[in-house]
A = this chain, B = another copy of it.
Amino acid sequence: MSNEFEKQEMNVTGEGFLPGLAIDTVIFGFHDNKLKVLLLTYKNTGLFALPGGFIRINEDVNEAARRVLYSRTGLIDIFLDQFYVFGDKSRHDIAPLKTIMQAREFTPDDNHWLLKRFVSIGFYALVDFTKAIPTPDSISDSCDWFELDDLPVLMQDHRQIIDKALQTLQTNLDHKLIGFNLLSENFTMGDLQSLYETILNKKLIRAAFQRKMLSSGILERVAKKWTGGAHKAPYLYRFMAGR
């Protein structure tokens, strides 16, 4: 669901936005072989949520996702991918929305557009979290990285949204990694294996991993990495162009 409660969205009918449709973004942060996720905390509510928002009537859905992420977190130039539409009727849960609005001294009418059933389009990205530093504006909610294996209780179905995003990331790792731009241009097989192991959350057998990667057709060998002891230097690879 939606976490964007700007003044213009407080009107009862939601004028200017597509009705019943929200966006939620799952931003995975990777660094130093750790995986984190970006969450908002709503002041005076104890509620944790994914950065989310709504689609303006005159904007594309994919464009809205980038705007929403930027307006909630200050992050820009994040390559977001759609991954799933959360559309079960059971996800309709107005209590946390009322709590958030009331914490801002706004008591919504029962007919308020934000209290109706919403379908949410999930977007995800994987970024180097040392390069993506969230900067919410000072009077609004805070926004921080949380360890994936130590998440707080999240509002509505946001935990399921994260789980589904992680599952998608794990399934599509071979196709997605190139676009995510997480490794330096040239990297060793060991660097690549660490990235896979962190995201898949399991140890991989070195020989089998190397064989799979080399036969995948997505890597090209660049040169040996210079380490001083040439006979032990690992090869460097890069992702092939045009993929």
Contact = CB atoms under 8 A, between A and B. Distances in A.
A53 to B, nearest CB: 14
Interface string A48-90: 0000000101111110100000000000000000101101111
A232 B172 CA distance: 38
A21 to B, nearest CB: 6
- The complex is assembled from copies of this chain, and their number is 2
A89 to B, nearest CB: 6
Contacts of A90: 60
A120 to B, nearest CB: 10
Contact of A87 (B58, B61, B87, B211): B61
A221 interface: no
Given A20-B20, A215-B212, A60 B89 contact: yes
Interface residues of A, number: 28
Contacts of A20: 18-21
A214 to B, nearest CB: 11
Given A20-B19, A21-B21, A85 B121 contact: yes
A64 B117 CA distance: 15
Contacts of A59: 89
A89 B57 CA distance: 8
Nearest to A90: B60
Contacts of A18: 20, 117, 119
Which of A57, A85, A90 has most chain B Cβ within 10 Å? A85
Interface in A81-125: 82, 84-85, 87-90, 117, 119, 121
Contacts of A119: 18, 21, 55, 61
A24 to B, nearest CB: 13
12 contacts: A18-B20, A18-B117, A18-B119, A19-B19, A19-B20, A57-B89, A59-B89, A61-B85, A62-B87, A62-B88, A85-B85, A208-B215
Given A61-B87, A82-B84, A85-B85, 7 more contacts: A20-B21, A55-B87, A55-B119, A59-B89, A61-B119, A62-B88, A87-B121
9 smallest CB-CB distances across A and B, nearest first, come from A61-B87, A60-B88, A19-B19, A85-B121, A18-B20, A60-B89, A82-B85, A19-B20, A61-B85
